[in-house]
Amino acid sequence: MNSGAPSTLRSPVPPADGQLSAAAMSAYSRHQTLLKALEQQKQIAVRDLIALLRASPATVRRDIEQLERLGKLVRTHGGVLHPDYAQGEQPFARKARSAVTAKKAIAAKASEFVSPGAVVFVDSGTTCLEIGRLLLGQDVTLYTNSLALLAEPGQPRAQVNAIGGEARMLSRALVGGLAMHWLRHLHFDVAFIGASGLSAAEGASTTELTEASIKRECAARSRRPVLVADASKWNQPVAVEFAPWAAFRDFITDRRLGAEDLAALRQAKVRVHCVAARRPARA
């Protein structure tokens, strides 16, 4: 019978007298090792935890489940995230101030992919905003879910269309069921898709499920889906994986990839375009 007192989950801790069963001590040691590694790496794959903890997959799964109930980590597909990392999406204005030179260089390269009269989708991220700004002056039809791009001042040469939907103000993006409904009636010559994180093995990820759905749908509805991301995103995946590398024809970045990573992307038939971000001249 329930007495009404709330039950409390506790991670195993050693008692004051040090008397603890070998199994309990092992659990405590594993939990501390896992949490310490997560503080340093922010995201760890389950296969790496199995190697780190020298435990069976079933044991590691139990450890993850208990630590998740305690709020110590967040489970993802194939791994775990530090809770601060999972919930730490930066506001749009702060992201717009980072890696500006690289984003402009990526945008300049991206604009070369667009022919006069093309139908183009431009995603809501800050790198895509730089692309959209260039395309506003071209003879193209733009579709976008970027509130920031829609708010750009002046009279654009491009024909600009909003896909509709619910406004997600943190990322200044239009998302949700209405946006998805309209996307299912559209096709694009080129789609520029941004990402919050990238994994050499698994592809592109973002921080939020509704934005992931928009990105995935637009890539699928484009004859030339193009992933754009600055170097800071490389091998820094975030909570929601939205597309494997094979979903894209091109990847534009300012990061020079190693031979192994390049080979993996070429195996997925992705063309990699590395741009040089020009540094501001010193006074």
Please report, in tens digits, the pLDDT of each residue of the chain (283 residues total): 444 443 334 444 444 444 445 555 588 999 999 999 988 887 788 999 999 999 999 999 999 989 988 888 877 667 887 776 655 566 677 778 788 999 999 999 999 999 999 999 999 999 999 999 999 999 999 999 999 999 999 999 999 999 999 998 878 999 999 999 999 999 999 999 999 999 999 999 998 888 999 999 999 999 999 999 999 899 889 888 999 999 999 999 999 999 999 999 999 999 999 998 665 444 3
Q: Quick one: tokens of 109?
A: 């390269």
Give the integer Cα–Cα distance in Å for 83 and 85. 5
Domain coordinates in residue numbering, the chain: 22-86, 92-274
Q: What are phi and psi of 241, to 5 degrees?
A: -75, 130
**CATH class as words, domain 92-274:** alpha beta
pTM higher than 0.75 for the full model? no
**Two domains, one topology: 22-86 and 92-274:** no
CA atoms within 13 A on the CB side of 83: 9
> What are the helix (H) ranges across the chain?
22-41, 46-53, 57-69, 83-86, 92-96, 100-111, 126-135, 147-150, 177-183, 209-220, 259-267
The pLDDT assigned to 31 comes to 95
Q: What is the DSSP string of 193-224?
A: EE-SEEETTTEEEES-HHHHHHHHHHHHTEEE
CA distances from 214 to 1, 152, 230 (A): 48, 22, 20
The pLDDT assigned to 4 comes to 41
Phi/psi region, residue 164 (left: phi>0; alpha: psi -120 to 50; beta: rest), is left
Q: At what angle do helices 57-69 and 46-53 cross, to 10 degrees?
A: 110
Please tell me the chain's helix, strand, coil percentages from 3-state DSSP, rounded to the nearest 5. Answer: 40, 20, 40
DSSP assignment, residue 45? E
Q: Quick one: tokens of 102?
A: 């690289």
Q: What are phi and psi of 139, to 5 degrees?
A: -85, 75
Q: Are 176 and 163 in contact (CB under 8 A)?
A: no
The pLDDT assigned to 68 comes to 84
Q: Are 72 and 83 in contact (CB under 8 A)?
A: yes
Q: What are phi and psi of 75, to 5 degrees?
A: -75, 140
CATH topology of domain 22-86: Arc Repressor Mutant, subunit A (1.10.10)
Give the integer Cα–Cα distance in Å for 126 and 158. 19
Phi/psi region, residue 172 (left: phi>0; alpha: psi -120 to 50; beta: rest), is left
DSSP assignment, residue 270? P
